[in-house]
A and B are shown apart, each in its own frame.
Chain A
Amino acid sequence: MNCEWVKENIPSYLYDELGDDARHELEQHLARCAGCAAEAEAVRELKQAASALPRVEPAPNLLTASRMRLQESLETVKQNSGWQRWVFDPGAWLQQVRFSPALAAAILMAGFTGGALTAYRLAPRAEGNAVATSESSIAGIRGISQEPGSNNVQVRYDRLVPESVQGSMDDPRIQQLLLYAARSNENSGLRMDSINLLTRRHDDTRVREALMYALRYDRNPGVRLKALDGLADYVSEDVRVRNAVLEALMQDSNPGVRIEAIRLLESVKPDWSVRSAFRQLAEQDQNDFIRREARRVLATLPELD
């Protein structure tokens, strides 16, 4: 533990955010290092001084007025769910099951009974009755039992039943599945494909949401780039899209995504938040190219009053 580490961790220490070990070591260090002890004292003083800034409590009238104004607006505002509310959402359904023990138990029992009814009997006499399923479609073996004194064995198992749906991009079921795939699939290739298809319908707010979600949270930079592509036409008219792209510009871990975000935001560079983001990048971004690009964009910016 050196003085630099200690100094950087003094605020965390004073705000009670250090782990037990680190706190102990830091306290030991403070006891024998006058420089760091003085630093700690100075930060403690700042902490005390900061409490001299009076906190403003919202006046009851302000709160009531705010609530009323919100209530009024809620009368006319619609949720962005549209058709999605009426179609089956597996994620939401699972959530619901998770919080409804009775329903979960009922489903479990139904599954169990169903499994027992469809249990396959393997009998040496019935040679014509071949195993109707391949190994890959068996989801799991539930139980094996042998009838006493006979050669008969009963194996209970679950089968995976793959299904497919065909339809046009206008079909809500197809849209629903694509949206689901864009958010939740483990396979990034599939996420990419669904994003790719969805970008053709980006005039739908639901799709735009999925694209913004992918841009913000997808682990795969390729998918994020694809999502950026799909959002390009909406940067100027939809503030939410602009904010998502701004976030990508400032925070994305992938320089390629950030450079693409610069390209998109160039069209709306007179916007305050875009402008200040570019300024910040031009001054202090760690990436040389991005710093240069930000300066280039700022240089072409028309003067505003």
Chain B
Amino acid sequence: MPAEAVALPLAVGDLRYRDSAQSGLGFTGGSQVLPLERGRMVSQTLSRADDTLLIREAQRGNRAAFEELVRQYDQPVLRLALNLTRSEQDAQDIFQEAFLKAYRNLGSFRFECSFYTWVYRIVTNLCLDHLRKKQVRKEEAPVAVDKQGVEYDLLDQQADDRAGSNPERDLMRRELGHRIGRALERLTPRERMVFELKHYQGLKLRTIGEMLNTTEDTAKNTLFRATQKLRATLSEMR
């Protein structure tokens, strides 16, 4: 595959992350970012060449090069883990395990996909494992209210920071947010992951498929199932 062909998913993906960081709420519709996209895409494509050199160096055992690579991806990785697990401790563990795994297995990275996709494949796998374990634990111990409460504190804090001038509307929005959070927990780990990557991270279904080692079509079907389930769960809660 030529270098340009793998450059694009990286450019689009990474760029959306930055936008979601700026907009706070995280969701960016496809068309909103267009005017800035082209210029950034060019610079992203250029930085691909640096990436390749860094990866080569890191593969030869140069730890500084690896740390440089980590810097480029660690914030979005932490953000993804944090938003999926809703726990700083778990997110930090996933972060740690993901990059150690990446470092250990860097020798097997063969440039068959972009480094971004490769790292994300590791991260999403770890997150899926985490979600699966969490789900099993919850099934077996239904009295998990306390834990849930603790997890949502994190969410409350976040909402408090942004409280605007209309307390009533903020309250309603926060309640809706809680309902969404609970509905998301009812999805299977894979559905949860696809919805997260599509809705909140704004990735293309094709990239999501690549990260989850599946096809674009499967990712699309999973997204469809996720939206159906979310709607059903939310209408139950009303």
10 more A-B residue pairs beyond the given contacts A17-B205, A52-B176, A272-B132, with a C-beta to C-beta distance below 8 A? A12-B220, A15-B198, A16-B31, A53-B177, A54-B159, A55-B200, A70-B70, A79-B107, A91-B110, A272-B137
- In the bound complex, CA of A47 to CA of B200 (Å): 10
B:3-26 near A, CB below 8 Å: 3, 20-21, 24-26
> Which residue of the partner chain A has the closest CB to B76?
A58
Chain A residues whose C-beta falls within 8 Å of the C-beta of B137 in the assembled complex: 272
- Chain B residues with CB below 8 A from A58, complex form: 75, 78-79, 82, 91
Q: Is B82 a contact of A243 with CB atoms below 8 Å?
A: no
Interface residue? A129 (CB, 8 A): no
Residues on B with beta carbons closer than 8 Å to the beta carbon of A247? 213
Closest 10 CB pairs of A and B: A55-B26, A81-B107, A16-B30, A52-B176, A53-B180, A58-B78, A54-B158, A52-B177, A51-B27, A53-B177
Q: Which residues from chain A contact B74 at a C-beta distance below 8 Å?
A: 63, 66-67, 70
B66 in the interface (beta carbon within 8 A): yes
Q: Which of B184-228 contact A (CB under 8 A)?
A: 184, 188, 195, 198-200, 204-205, 213-214, 220-221, 223-224, 227
A113 CB–B CB distance under 8 Å:
no
Q: Among A67, A78, A276, which residue has its beta carbon within 8 angstroms of that of B136?
A: A276
The reply to whether A8 and B205 contact each other, CB–CB distance below 8 Å, is: no
The yes or no answer to A71 lying at the interface (CB within 8 A) is yes
Asked if A11 is at the interface of the complex by the 8 Å CB criterion, the answer is yes
Cβ–Cβ < 8 Å partners of B220 in chain A: 11-12, 17
Which residues of B are found within 8 Å of A209, using beta-carbon distances?
105, 107-108
A49 within 8 A of B: yes
Residue from A8, A56, A77, A243 with most neighbouring chain B CB atoms (10 Å): A56
A46 touches B67 (CB 8 A): no
- Does A275 have its Cβ within 8 Å of any Cβ on chain B? yes
Q: Are A50 and B180 in contact (CB under 8 A)?
A: yes
List of A residues within 8 angstroms of B104 by Cβ: 77-80
Q: Counting CB contacts under 8 A, is B103 at the interface?
A: yes
Q: How many Å lie between the Cα of A78 and that of B31 in the bound state? A: 44
Distance A206 CA – B74 CA, assembled complex (angstroms)? 27
Are A52 and B100 in contact, with the CB atoms below 8 A?
no
* Cα distance A272–B140 in the bound complex, in angstroms: 12
A-B contacts counted at CB < 8 A amount to 178
A-B residue pairs in contact (CB < 8 Å), sample of 5: A11-B223, A49-B180, A81-B59, A243-B125, A279-B136
| A 10-53 to B, binary, CB cutoff 8 A, 1 in contact else 0 | 01100111000000000000000000000000110011011111
CA distance A247 to B176 in the complex (A): 36
Q: Are B223 and A96 in contact (CB under 8 A)?
A: no
B75 to A: closest C-beta gap in Å: 6
Interchain CB contact under 8 A, B213 and A273:
no
A57 near B3: Cβ-Cβ < 8 Å: no
| Chain A residues within an 8 Å CB radius of B136 | 272, 275-276, 279
Judge if A84 is at the interface, Cβ distance under 8 Å: yes
Asked whether A165 is an interface residue with its Cβ less than 8 Å from the other chain, the reply is no
Interface 1/0 per residue, A145-157 and B, CB below 8 Å: 0000000000000
Interface assignment of B144: CB less than 8 Å from any CB of chain A: no
A80→B105 CA distance, assembly (Å)? 6
Complex partner residue of A69 from B27, B86, B92, B129, CB under 8 angstroms:
B92
Q: Are A62 and B88 within 8 A (Cβ)?
A: yes
**A277–B221 Cα gap in the complex (Å)?**
20
Which residues of A276-299 have CB atoms within 8 Å of chain B's CB atoms?
Answer: 276-277, 279-280
**Nearest opposing residue in chain A for B220, CB measure:** A12
B234 x A55 contact (CB < 8 A) = no
B40 within 8 A of A: no
A213 within 8 A of B: yes
Task: For A42, give the chain B residue with the smallest CB separation.
Answer: B231
A74 interface hit (Cβ, 8 Å): yes
